[in-house]
Amino acid sequence: MDIAIFIKAVSSFAWLLTIGLIALAVARSARGKPLKKAVPMILVMGVLALLLTVAGLGLVFLQPEERGVIISPYADQGYRTDVLQSGLHWIIPGETVKRYPISKQTYTMSIAANEGDIYGDDSIAARTSDGQEIFVDASVIFEVDPTRVINVHIAWQDRYIDELVRPQSRGIIRDVVSQYGVEEVVSTKRAEMVKLITEGMRLKLDENGLVLVDFVLRNITFSEEYGYSVEQKQIAEQLALQAELIVEQKRQEAEQARQEAQGLADAAVIAAEGAAQARIIEAQAEAEALRLIADALAGSPNLLQYQYITKLAPDVKVILMPNGSQFILPPELIAP
């Protein structure tokens, strides 16, 4: 609890009690029953109320997240040059304290009606270098420099949000966005754009006694016309990608068919080569057999005739030969 407020409350109660004692003393005196020791009690309560009032007027308690500027009619410049720190302080009656928060503050500008500091559409309308209009949602997180509270008071007092943070952030965002094309804003150059905005905001706030903690680019919205064109482009890109996939599928199918045909052709070649090789081996075997037969006939001239005879059926008794034909067997082989 703020002790200064407590003392002021106690002093108010003391004044009420003093007035009550005076009224009671007057009423008792009117009825002929004066209140004993009424005057001393009234004097004590009056002095106590006065002391508490003076103390209450001179005591100021600042919370840990507050700093104060003492507005003094006794100072030549109208204020004390020392910043009043957090805690309990005594000031001269007649002086007042202007409180300033030094904790982090967030100012949000949003297209959504209930998300920003101002109700309704408070997004920043900006144009890109190629003439497209976009709408930027952003938040500026900042704090008052504790060592420069007096400078803020002199320059802005409590108007630094509405007259410094808001207009400077909107102007810097528009200036930076105008350096990029719409495609860059939403993709390749977004991080670079945020960096430039942050640097610009930090410089402007620092010049006026504020410290930029962070700049948050919350969202980027397009105009309806551009949004429609982007949608159509995405549809066209998807169709093109689908066509590429179909072409690739057909190419793979053709490659598979070619490989299958190549495999069949290779198999046919291998089979033909195998058959030819087998024929060669067979011919070589036949040639070798004929050579062996020829060698055998050369050593035994009658062997062929003998083989012929042995192949005849055993029941053959008579062989008829055409008229004038030569005997194929020598007479010595003919049985008597």
Beta strands in the chain (DSSP E): 59-62, 66-71, 87-90, 96-101, 105-109, 124-127, 133-144, 210-222
For the chain, what are the domain ranges? Answer: 3-101, 105-222, 245-313
C-alpha 2: how far from its chain's center? 45
The rounded radius of gyration (Å) of the Cα atoms in the chain is 58
Q: Quote the pLDDT of residue 16.
A: 83
| pLDDT per residue as tens digits for the range 222-267 | 877 666 666 566 667 777 888 888 888 888 888 888 888 888 878 8
pLDDT at 332 over 60: no
C-alpha pair distances (Å), 207 with each of 35, 148, 204, 210, 214: 68, 11, 5, 8, 16
Residue 69 gets which letter from DSSP?
E
DSSP letters for 103-119: S-EEEEE-SSTTTSSSS
Average pLDDT over residues 135-141: 95
Which of the residue ranges 12-26, 27-41, 191-205 has the most confident prediction, judged by mean pLDDT? 191-205
* Alpha-carbon span 326 to 296, nearest angstrom: 24
**Alpha-carbon distance 34 to 30, whole Å?**
8
Sign of CA dihedral 273, 275, 279, 285: positive
Q: Please identify, in words, the CATH class of the domain defined by 105-222.
A: alpha beta
Question: Where is average pLDDT lowest: 33-37, 176-180, 256-260?
Answer: 33-37
pLDDT at 325: 55
pTM value? 0.59
Residue given tokens 């101002």 in the structure block: 118
Say which range, 2-11, 17-26, 188-197, 309-318, has the weakest mean pLDDT. Answer: 309-318
Residue 222 has, within 13 A of its CA and on its CB side, a CA count of 15
